[in-house]
Structure 1
Amino acid sequence: MKKLSTTLLSATLACALSAPSFAADYTFKFQSSDPAGDKNFQVQKEWVNRVKEMTGGRVEIDLLPVGSIFKHTETLDGIKMGILDGQITATEFFSGKDPAFGLIGNTVGAWSNTSQLLQYINYGGGYELMNELYAPYGVKFIGGSTTGVESLVSRVPLNGVEDLKGLKLRAPEGLVQRVFAAAGAAPVNLPGSEVFTGLSKGVIDAADYTVFSTNQKAGMNDIAAHPVQPGFHSLPLIDISMNKKKWDKLPADLQTILTVSVRDFAQDMTTQLRIADQAAVKAAQADPNITIHDWSAEERKKFRAIARTQWEEFAKSSKNAQKVYDSITSYLEQNGLL
C-alpha cells in the first residue's frame, strides 16, 4: 500500500510538472503617468485586473508607474520605438510634439464637469480626432477618461474673474498659463513638488494643482484656506492608448472588450474621485478655518470667454491644433455650452 501511495504521488507530481502553463495569448507593457502610491494608479491597476478577467486571461497588461522606463512626456516615443506597448497618460504631456495635444488634452475653461468631456470624446468626434492625431506615431487611441475638474487652492478669497487680477498663481506652462495671464493673473513657474512650500511661504498666492480631495489630503487647504470648488479651469483628458500594429493583431472580440473596458474605467475613475472629493469637501466645510468659494455661472462664463480667446491663439500653432479648436468649439456651440 505504501509503495502504491508513493507511486501515485510520484505520478501526480510528474503530471503537475509536465502540465502546460496557461500563459496569456497577448501580454503588453504599459506605463502610467502617475506614481504607484496615487489613487489614480490604484484605479488603473484595478482596470488591468478587470481586463484579465474579462478576456479570460487572454490579455495581460503589466502596468508600470511614472518614470519606470520613460519620462511622462516621452511614453509616446517609447511606444513608437516598441519598448512600451501602451500608456495611461494625460494627453497634454505631448504638447511639445504638437500643440494639438495640449489643446485637446486640457481645453482650459471648456468643461464644467466630467460628463461633458467624456460625451465629446465618445460621441462628439473626440475619439476619431485622437486617433487621427496619434496616427503618425503608430499609436491607437483606445479610449479616454479624466479625473475631475481641478480645484484651485488659494491663500486669498477668489469669488470671480476680477479677483484673479495680479494674483501670483502657480500654473503649468502652456495653455493654462496663457489663459490665466489673459484673465489678469501673474502666472509663476513652479514644480508641483514646491507648491506646498510656495504657498506656505507666500511665494505664490494660489495654485492650479489637482482635484480637491488630493489637495485636502496634502494639507493644501490648511495653508491656502480659500479653495475654489467645484473648479472652473483644468479638466485633463486621460487617455489609454497602445501600439497600433499590436492593436491590429488582436482579434475583434478582444478589441471590443478593451474598448468597452476603457469606458468602464472612465466611469470608475471619475466616480471614485468624485466620492473622494465629496468626503473631502465635507471635512473642509467642518473646518472653521477653511472657506470654500463656488463661482457663479456668470463668473464661469466670463472665464470661459477669456479662455476662448487663448484657444484661438493656440490653434494657430499648428494645423492639427486648428482642427482641435474647430472640433471642440463646434461641439460646445451645438450643445449650448458656449
Structure 2
Amino acid sequence: MSSNDKNNPSAPPAVSERRSFLKKAAIGATTAVVAAPFIGNAQAAKTTTWKVQSTWDAGTVGYTLFEEWSNNMKEASGGELAIKPFPAKSVAADNNALFDAVRNGVLQGMNPFTLYWSGKIPASVFLSSYPAGPDQPHQWDTMFYALGMLEKTRAIYEKFGLFYVGPIHHDANIIHSKQPVNSLDDLKGMKIRLPGGMVAEVFQQFGVSTVSLPGSDIFPALEKGTIDAADYVGPAVNWDLGFGQVTKHILFGPPGVMSVYQPVDLMDLTVNARAWKKLSPKMQKTVEDQVKTYSMHHYLTIQKRNIEALQKFKDSGSVVSRMTQADMEAFRRAAIPVWYKWAKKDAAATEIFKIHLDYMMNDIVGYVTPEDVKGHSL
C-alpha cells in the first residue's frame, strides 16, 4: 500500500490484494456450501436440499446477501427445504452452462440476471430493465404481481422445463470509464462492455462498439485496456470488484436517474420444474413468499451500500458526470424502435411487451404518448 493509500482509508486495495481477496472469498464460499450438513434427527433426514448458483461473484455484497438468504431457508421452511448457495462459475462455468445445468437438474435452481437469456428467450428483455423503459421498482412489482406478467412469465419458462419463482430487485446499472463522458456524443468510438440484446443495440446507434463480458471478466479487461468503459451494476458491487482502481469516471443519468439504459435491473429465482413440483403446495407458497421478502431486503441493503460505496469512489479520485435531459430524450427516441423490434421476435415477447406498453401509456404512468410510438405497431 502506498503512503497515499495509508492516508486515505477509502482508497481501494492494490490490484494484487483485490485478486487475493476475491480468490479467497470464492474458495471460502464454495467450501462453506459444499460441506455435507449433519443430520441429527429423522425430521432433518427428510429435508430436501437444492443446489442453487448465483451469478454474483463471491466476495461481493450481492453474493453475501444471497448466501445469507439461502442459509436461512431451512429454518424458514421448518426443515422441509434447504438451499446450498454457490457463487458465479463454481458449478456451471458460464451463463449458458448455468441455464442448462438447471434444466438438466445438475443444479436445482439459479439466481441470474434475467436479461441474460435474451438469446434463448426473447421475452426476457422485457422481464428486466431495458433502455428508457419503466424506471421505478414498484412499477415492475405492479406488472409482475398485479397485471399478470408473473403468470405469463411462468408459462414461457415452463416450455424450457423451468419454473420462474419470482423477480428479485437489484439496482440500476452504471458505466465506469477511463475517459470523461459528459454526453452521448462522447460515447462515439468507445469500446464498452454492455449486456447484449436491446441494450447493446441502442448504444450502437450512438457509435459505441459493444462487448459482452461476465462480471468477473470486466476488471482485467479494463486493466489491460481492451475496453474503454464498462457497464455493470451499482456502486456497491462495482467497488467490491475493484473498478475504482482501473477507471476514474462514472456516468449516471440526469438528476434523480442513475441509469437510462437499465434503471431497474432485475434478478430472479428460477428452479428446475421437476424439483419445484416435488415440493408440497404449502412449501411452494413459502418459497414464493421468501423470494418476495428477499427481493425487498436485497434491494434496500444494496441501496444503503451504494451510498457508502459512491463516497469511496469519490474519495479515491473518481468523478461522477450526468447525462442531460436532452441526452435522455435522444436516448429514448433511439430506444423505442428497438422495443418494437424485440417485441416482434416471437409471440411471447409481444405479449409481455404489450403489458409494458399499456402500462406506460396509461395516464397513471404517462411515460409514452401516441406520438412517441407513431408509425410503430405490434
Same-fold status (TM-score > 0.5): yes
Q: Does structure 1 residue 152 correspond to structure 2 residue 175?
A: yes
Query: Residues 37-89 of structure 1: CA distance to partner in whole angstroms, max 9, x if unpaired?
Result: 33222211222233222222121122223334333323333333233222211
Tell me how far 1:187 sits from its aligned partner: 2.4
TM-aligned CA distance change 1:218 to 1:21, over 3 Å: closer
**Equivalent AA in structure 2 for residue 238 of structure 1:** M
Deviation of the 1:21 alpha carbon: 5.9
Could you say which residue in structure 2 is the equivalent of 1:86?
A: 109
* Aligned-partner SS, 2:300: helix
Shift of residue 143 of structure 1? Answer: 0.9
Q: 2:124 aligns with which of 84, 101, 105?
A: 101
SS of residue in 2 equivalent to 1:276:
helix
Aligned to 1:26: 48
Whether contact under 8 Å (2:115, 2:125) holds in the other structure is yes
Q: After the TM superposition, which residues 1-338 of structure 1 pair with which residues of structure 2 at under 5 Å, given as runs?
A: 20=42, 22-70=44-92, 71-188=94-211, 192-193=215-216, 195-200=218-223, 202-229=225-252, 230-234=258-262, 235-287=264-316, 289-334=317-362, 335-338=365-368
Q: Would the aligned equivalents of 2:50 and 2:82 in 1 still touch at CA under 8 Å?
A: yes
Deviations 1:116-167 (A, max 9, x none): 3333333333312210210112222111113211111123333333333333
Measure, in 2, the Cα distance between the counterparts of 1:67 and 1:284.
27
Query: What is the rounded CA distance, in whole Å, between the counterparts of 2:356 and 2:292 in structure 1?
Result: 20
Q: CA contact under 8 A between 1:29 and 1:61: conserved in structure 2?
A: yes
Deviation at 1:20, TM superposition (A): 4.1
Note closer, same or farther for the CA distance 1:276–1:317 as it changes in structure 2 (3 Å cut). same
Q: Distance in 2 between matches of 1:222 and 1:64?
A: 27
Relative to the length of structure 1, the TM-score reads 0.83
Q: What is aligned with 2:31?
A: none
* Unaligned runs of at least 5 residues, structure 1: 1-16
CA RMSD in angstroms, aligned pairs only: 2.8
For 1:266-298, what per-residue CA distance to the aligned partner results, in whole angstroms no more than 9, with x for missing partners? 1111112111110012233445x4321233455
Q: Is the 8 A contact 2:191 2:227 kept in 1?
A: yes
**Helix, strand or coil for the counterpart of 1:44?**
helix
How far does residue 99 in structure 1 lie from its aligned partner after superposition?
Answer: 1.9
Q: Counterparts of 2:230 and 2:188 in 1: how far apart (Å)?
A: 14
Seq. identity, %: 26
Displacement of 1:182 = 1.8
Contact 1:171 / 1:188 at 8 angstroms: preserved in 2?
yes
What is the CA–CA distance in structure 1 between the aligned matches of 2:81 and 2:91, rounded to whole Å? 22
2:20 matched residue in structure 1: none
Alpha-carbon distance in 2 for matches of 1:225, 1:257: 44
Rg bigger for which structure? 1
Aligned partners of 1:50, 1:30: CA distance in 2, in Å? 14
- Pick closer, same or farther for the CA change 1:297–1:57 going to 2, 3 Å: farther
SS of the aligned residue for 1:323 comes to helix
| CA distance in 1: counterparts of 2:322 and 2:269, whole angstroms | 32
Q: Is the 8 A contact 2:60 2:241 kept in 1?
A: no
Q: Secondary structure at the match of 1:37?
A: coil
Aligned-partner Cα distance in 2 for 1:254–1:197: 43
- The 3 A distance-change label for structure 1 pair 20 and 116 is closer
Is contact 1:167–1:186 with CA below 8 Å preserved after alignment? yes
Q: Distance in 1 between matches of 2:197 and 2:42?
A: 53
Structure 1 stretch displaced more, 138-147 or 188-197: 188-197
Shift, 1:227, TM fit: 0.4
Q: 2:157 and 2:41 mapped to 1: Cα distance?
A: 43
Q: 1:250 to 1:228 in 2, by over 3 A?
A: same
Kept in 1: contact 2:184–2:323 (CA 8 A): no
Change (3 A) 1:244 1:327: same
Give the distance between the partners of 1:159 and 1:123, measured in 2 at CA. 39
Shift of 1:103: 4.1
Which digits, 9 at most, give the CA deviation of each residue in 1:238-257, with x for residues without a partner? Answer: 11122334333433322221
Amino acid at match of 1:265: Y
Structure 1 Cα separation of the partners of residues 172 and 219 of structure 2:
20
Separation of aligned partners in 1, 2:321 and 2:67 = 34
